[in-house]
Chain A
Amino acid sequence: MVAFKLAYRNLIGAGLRTWLNVSVLSFAFVLIIFYNGMIDGWNRQGRNDTQEWEVANGQYWHPDYDKLDVYSIKDANQELGEQVDELVKAGQLLPVLIQQATIYPQGRMQSILLKGVPTDQIILKLPTDSLQGDKNSLQAIIGRRMAKTAQLKVNDRVLLRWRDKNGTFDAREITITSIFYCDVPGADNGQIYIDYEKMQDMMGFNNRATLLVTANEEPEVLAGWDFKNLDFLLAELDQMIESKKGGGIVLQGVLLLIALLAIFDTQVLSIFRRQKEIGTYVALGLTRNQVVGIFTIEGGMHSVLAALLGAVYGIPFFLWLDTVGLSFGGLDVGITMAEVIYPYYSLGLILSTTLLVVLAATVVSYLPARKIARMNPTEALKGKIQ
Chain B
Amino acid sequence: MDDKVIQLQSLTKRFPVGNGYFTALTDINLELQKGEFAGLVGPSGSGKTTLLNIIGSLDVPSEGTATVLGNSIAQLSQKQAAHLRNHHIGFIFQTYNLLPVYTVYENVEFALLLQNMSANDRRKSVMQALEWVGLTDKEKSKPSMLSGGECQRVAIARSMVKKPQIVLADEPTANLDSKNSHHILQTMQTLNEELGVTFVFSTHDEKVMQYLKRKISLADGRVVKDETVMADSV
Contacts and interface: CB of A to CB of B under 8 A. Distances in A.
A279 interface: yes
Given A283-B56, A284-B85, A287-B82, A13 B101 contact: yes
A378 B59 contact: yes
Contact of B58 (A5, A276, A377): A377
Nearest to A376: B59
Contacts of A13: 100-102
Given A290-B82, A378-B53, A285 B97 contact: no
Interface of A: 2, 5-6, 9-10, 12-14, 276-277, 279-280, 282-290, 377-378, 381, 383
A283 B58 contact: yes
B86 interface: yes
Interface in B37-91: 49-50, 53, 56, 58-59, 78-79, 81-83, 85-87, 91
B224 interface: no
A286 B82 contact: yes
B19 interface: no
A285 B53 contact: no
Contacts of B85: 282-285
A353 B114 CA distance: 33
A322 B150 CA distance: 57
A12 B103 CA distance: 12
Contacts, number: 68
Contacts of B113: 2, 5-6
Contacts of A290: 82
Interface of B: 49-50, 53, 56, 58-59, 78-79, 81-83, 85-87, 91, 93, 95, 97, 99-102, 106, 110-111, 113-114, 116, 158
A383 B96 CA distance: 12
A284 B91 contact: yes
Contacts of B50: 378
Nearest to A12: B101
Main secondary structure, interface of B, reads helix
A285 B102 contact: no
A381 B93 contact: yes
Given A9-B106, A284-B111, A285-B87, A378 B82 contact: no
A9 B158 CA distance: 17
Nearest to B79: A287
A282 B59 CA distance: 11
Most central of A276, A284, A286, A287 by chain B CB within 10 Å: A284
B129 to A, nearest CB: 14
5 contacts: A10-B101, A276-B97, A285-B85, A286-B114, A381-B93
Contacts of B86: 284-286
Most central of A277, A285, A383 by chain B CB within 10 Å: A285
A9 B95 contact: no
Given A9-B102, A276-B97, A284 B58 contact: no
A378 B56 CA distance: 10
B71 to A, nearest CB: 14
B126 to A, nearest CB: 14
A110 B113 CA distance: 82
Contacts of B58: 282-283, 377-378, 381
A2 B97 contact: no
A377 B97 CA distance: 13
Contacts of B56: 283
Given A277-B97, A290-B82, A378-B59, 17 more contacts: A12-B101, A13-B100, A14-B101, A277-B100, A280-B97, A283-B85, A283-B97, A284-B114, A284-B158, A285-B82, A285-B86, A285-B111, A286-B82, A287-B79, A287-B81, A381-B93, A383-B95
